[in-house]
Amino acid sequence: MGTAEKIKNKTKTNNEIRIPRLYKVLIYNDDFTTMDFVVKILMVVFSKNNQEAYDIMMDVHNGSYAVVGLYPRDIAMTKKEIVTSMAREEGFPLKVEVEPE
């Protein structure tokens, strides 16, 4: 294999497009965070409409947690940090986690 072929093969490999791995953002139920606050963060941070936010909030309320969305890692972690910060500012212990899909 000549040098030109090696460069050509290497270029092909480097031009492959990789789809980023997605991560789930999970919100957990607790006895202190208000339903209204959960709906608010779902609408503000996760761009859910009122009905979607309410339905997810009820899933959290009736179970132990709910998946809020799937995002690339950096976006998921940023959303987690924003929600945690908003919750602490309001005095809520809301638990948010990010895990691989």
Chain-centre distance of CA 58, in angstroms? 18
Quote the number of domains for the chain. 1
Q: Mean pLDDT of all residues in the chain?
A: 91
Answer yes or no: is 41 within a domain: yes
Q: What is the mean pLDDT of residues 66-81?
A: 98
User: What pLDDT sits at residue 31?
Assistant: 94
pTM above 0.75, yes or no: yes
Q: What single DSSP character describes residue 32?
A: S
Length of the chain: 101
Answer yes or no: is 91 within a domain: yes
User: What pLDDT sits at residue 2?
Assistant: 60
Question: Does the structure show a pLDDT above 80 at 9?
Answer: no
Give alpha helix (H) positions in 1-101. Answer: 3-14, 35-44, 50-62, 73-89
Residues of the domain holding 83: 20-100
CATH number assigned to the domain comprising residue 31: 3.30.1390.10
